[in-house]
Structure 1
């Protein structure tokens, strides 16, 4: 029996993107998907993908999911209080199953310990350390900020109200999640990536002023960028009824952007894709469906 490539988090955006690309290269017989919710997996079953139920906390289910699996894409969990333990569960199950290659998606960030989000970032980095100490051949992908996440930061009415974020003139190499899934699939499909760490960033960095200009050109509307006082921004979120956890998380990401923690630029993404990643206006057109 041919060993399969198992994709975890398979009903999420990144996992689905990886599966879509894998299916163009190996077909459904070569792909397995780990999902928590069987109902959400219906589109995968329709594509004849081997769906396996389980989650990162269920060790027995993880071990069953690893049966006849040669390679694994470990998409980072989003349970911020249990990230490291959950990731360790997946790695141990892969070790037990004799998986030949595990690809892990983390985050491309500098000076994580100084970040307001240091607990989450430290769990991602500690996962890397755990992998390095494991017996599984692995590749680490550090993903930059998703262009797809911009509507969360900019708001649904960005074209009418503009961009109002305390990000200053910082620069970030935003990139499409779809292309990151493709790059991850390529790593799984190719030889020679074991033991490597790659930073998946766009080929250019962008300010929020760049984003405003691109949105204005695409929409034909006057989109302005204003960088308010950080405390006033947080107070405004609270006044709008945003829960404290949401305020802390959003403000944490914006602080990291403002302080340049995502200002990392490499050619890794371009090399793994075999082409330049989508430029800013192309990406925004896809995200906002212009």
Structure 2
């Protein structure tokens, strides 16, 4: 069990918040800390339980340095794409090192080394961050994550039961997982020994392709779901992208390409070993969580 104080960055978001919730089930609040751009609103429920909370932005080095004082381990949630991730992550790593942090756990995006697949505005900054951590002198753990099941409908739409699966298909498979399972893995690494200087690929236990989603979804929901292999040009014009930021269609297409190219195909068993149980599978998740009933962000 961890002895020093643990700080979770991005604790006002989904993954960071779930991680901190699970940490509170294992550790006293006095041993935990969290940062957010807006702690008054985003971290109040944690502060009310006795967690130390701080206002700190990845772009504010001084605020990070102050928040990291007396911290042994930092759970570093990766910054959003298109926000100068390299600069932000550099600030976190160097501030942690200067403050005397012993161990940083970082959420990277799963990739196949040497495959030549680069995720737009993600792979370069992830690689930079991992190299910075390895050169820092601190212990590190890299938590390579596949796509989230909670956000998977962004690729297929919220109305696939009626409209079908209309996506550019590929032959490769992928094994998405829930944020709950990823958070549980984070907690294991943060609170148990033996994870320093390791990299984990946190794939699910079940891999499938876009071409197989209609059948799996149909079985889970007890109805027939159609599918159509469309072109990338057609996908970019999908009505689900209407009203979204200009970069979103190309960004989502980059993830579809990566999934179709096998970037998330490897099933390692790392997640199952870390959480001590079988990760939630796609068919089980969609049975009770699709169509989605609330927003994601």
Q: Secondary structure at the match of 2:96?
A: helix
CA shift for structure 1 position 242: 5.4
CA shift for structure 1 position 25: 0.6
Asked if 1 retains the 8 angstrom alpha-carbon contact of 2:81 and 2:122, the reply is no
CA shift for structure 1 position 117: 3.1
Name 1:31's counterpart in structure 2.
Answer: 32
Query: Hey, what's the Cα distance between the residues in 2 that align with 1:274 and 1:239?
Result: 38
Asked if 2 retains the 8 angstrom alpha-carbon contact of 1:112 and 1:121, the reply is no
Which digits, 9 at most, give the CA deviation of each residue in 1:180-232, with x for residues without a partner? 01101110101111111110001221122443223223323322222212223
* Cα pair distance change 1:286/1:210, threshold 3 Å: same
Query: Hey, what's the Cα distance between the residues in 2 that align with 1:79 and 1:59?
Result: 19
Asked if 2 retains the 8 angstrom alpha-carbon contact of 1:112 and 1:122, the reply is no
Matched, 1:222 2:229: no
* Cα pair distance change 1:218/1:196, threshold 3 Å: same
Q: Give me the TM-score of the superposition, normalised by structure 2.
A: 0.90
Asked if 2 retains the 8 angstrom alpha-carbon contact of 1:10 and 1:35, the reply is yes
Matched, 1:182 2:218: no
Matched, 1:17 2:18: yes
Which digits, 9 at most, give the CA deviation of each residue in 1:239-277, with x for residues without a partner? 956554122111111111112222121011111111221
Name 1:136's counterpart in structure 2.
Answer: 138
Name 1:160's counterpart in structure 2.
Answer: 162
Query: Hey, what's the Cα distance between the residues in 2 that align with 1:286 and 1:136?
Result: 42
Asked if 2 retains the 8 angstrom alpha-carbon contact of 1:175 and 1:278, the reply is yes
Runs of 4+ in structure 1 over 6 Å off = none
Listed as ranges, the gaps of 5+ residues in structure 2 are: 293-297
Name 1:87's counterpart in structure 2.
Answer: 89
More off after superposition, 263-272 vs 217-226: 217-226
Listed as ranges, the gaps of 5+ residues in structure 1 are: none
Provide the alpha-carbon RMSD of the alignment.
2.2
More off after superposition, 114-123 vs 50-59: 114-123
Q: Higher helix proportion, which one? A: 1
Number of residues paired by the alignment? 289
Name 1:66's counterpart in structure 2.
Answer: 68
Which digits, 9 at most, give the CA deviation of each residue in 1:120-175, with x for residues without a partner? 21111111011111021111111111111112112121221121110333200111
